[in-house]
Amino acid sequence: MHQGPQMNPYAPPTGHQGGGMMGPPGSPQEAVERGVCPRCNSSSVSQPSFTWWGGVLGPKLFNHWVCSSCGFGYNGKTGESNRGKIITYFVVINVAVLIVIILANLR
């Protein structure tokens, strides 16, 4: 089972060791497979256990990873941005809560 990007401590060093806004070579998925950020090629990535937009469930649903260097949030399988999914998730959850509140007040 794939658990997201992980660094191999025994792999040879790459030419770029984190930080800058220099894009990685190849596709976003290749960057994820190497355990680096698809946007800046930093190896400082982690999977948050809680986010303001998704609580505990959201990051797990979208396999969400965040780069500590550039702040990019992405899917840990594809390397693509999760922005659209996050917006949709946030809107759907809030509309559902609003409907429950309205229905509860109608009784």
Sequence spans of domains, the chain: 28-106
Confidence label for 27 from pLDDT (cuts 50, 70 and 90): confident
Amino acid at 25: P
- Tens digit of pLDDT for each residue in 35-84? 999 999 999 999 999 999 999 999 999 999 999 999 999 999 999 999 99
- Tens digit of pLDDT for each residue in 88-106? 999 999 999 999 999 999 8
| d(C-alpha 71, C-alpha 12), whole Å | 25
pTM of the predicted model as reported, rounded to 2 decimal places: 0.68
What per-residue confidence (pLDDT) applies to 11? 45
What DSSP state is assigned to residue 22?
A: P
Query: Which candidate, 49, 48, 50, 87, places its Cα nearest to that of 65?
Result: 48
